[in-house]
Amino acid sequence: MKQTLLSWVFLLPAVIVIFGLLQAQDATAIIKKANDKMEGASSESEMTMTIVRPTWERKVSFRNWTKGRDYALTLIIAPSKESGQSFLKLKNDMWSWNPTINRMIKLPPSMMSQGWMGSDYTNDDILKESSIVLDYQHAIIGEEIQSGYPCFKIQLDPKEEAAVVWGKIIMWISKEEYYQLRTEYYDEDGYLVKTHILSDIRFMYDRKIPTHFEIIPADKPNQKTLVDIEVVKFDIPISDGFFSQQNMKTVN
């Protein structure tokens, strides 16, 4: 009996380490499955964004193309006065093109946390500069019901070398279908900055995904941004050359 107890004393630290590694691997696998479901290896989509403010609302429609982590191109298609504006991510560089003033602008990393097109949707959200899979460490911190779905509650902490916007992220991902149903974004001091709530799960192209995003800033009452996916295709062939400054000016 005494020998058995001593054995457990020596084995316990190893068991704790192994359990922690397994949990981290499980959390990362869950995040990756949820991310792959929403993004795929490549995608082409059309979305409508509604910016809601206490005294006004406005809509912006846009098309979006992505390929992996390195490439993203977004084109504004409405309203007409902003139609033709485009935004490009090419590996570590990002640009915006405004045809009205015939000007190309390179976006610095400091602009990634700023609102895109005056919304609560950030440049980082639209251009996906950071990767929730690669740039963060993941840990399951609980299990909760979200929008009627049993979910894993997972905390994402930035890796030391990662150039990311957020101090931490907490995500609620459904256990069965890996839907991203809620995400909370915190600054470096641990204060909640904004919350994304995803709903209206529909069959799109070859999978079921949430198609309605509600983006709610924590410190601005009666303000939010809604994003609705109208059409999306996943894992389609797109050449690297599609994502170019020249194509920013001609894509439609």
For residue 109, the domain's CATH number is 2.50.20.10
Distances in whole angstroms, Cα of residue 203 to Cα of each of 38, 206, 231: 12, 7, 10
Flag whether 19 is in a domain: no
- CA–CA distance, 200 with 151 (Å, rounded to integer): 17
Q: Tens digit of pLDDT for each residue in 95-132?
A: 999 999 899 999 877 777 778 888 988 777 766 666 88
Nearest to 207 by CA among 232, 171, 172: 232
Q: Tens digit of pLDDT for each residue in 222-248?
A: 899 999 999 999 999 999 999 999 999
- CA–CA distance, 81 with 96 (Å, rounded to integer): 16
> Which residues, in sequence order, are CB contacts of 146 under 8 Å at separation 6+?
172, 174, 181, 182
- CA–CA distance, 179 with 69 (Å, rounded to integer): 20
- Structure confidence at residue 10 (pLDDT): 52
Q: Tens digit of pLDDT for each residue in 2-59?
A: 555 555 445 544 434 334 444 445 999 999 999 999 988 999 999 999 999 999 999 9
Note whether 56 and 63 are within 8 A (CB).
no
- Structure confidence at residue 87 (pLDDT): 93
Flag whether 6 is in a domain: no
Q: Tens digit of pLDDT for each residue in 59-96?
A: 999 999 999 888 999 999 999 999 999 999 888 788 99
pLDDT at 157 over 50: yes
Flag whether 56 is in a domain: yes
Residue type, 165: V
- CA–CA distance, 36 with 26 (Å, rounded to integer): 15
Flag whether 29 is in a domain: no
- Structure confidence at residue 127 (pLDDT): 65
Flag whether 50 is in a domain: yes
Flag whether 190 is in a domain: yes
Domain count, the chain: 1
Per the structure, the complete domain to which residue 169 belongs is given by 35-248
Flag whether 10 is in a domain: no
Chain position carrying tokens 């930035």: 158
> Which residues, in sequence order, are CB contacts of 30 under 8 Å at separation 6+?
138, 140, 152, 154, 173, 178
Q: Tens digit of pLDDT for each residue in 129-148?
A: 668 888 999 999 999 999 99
Flag whether 140 is in a domain: yes
Is 59 in a helix, a strand, or coil?
strand
- Structure confidence at residue 20 (pLDDT): 43
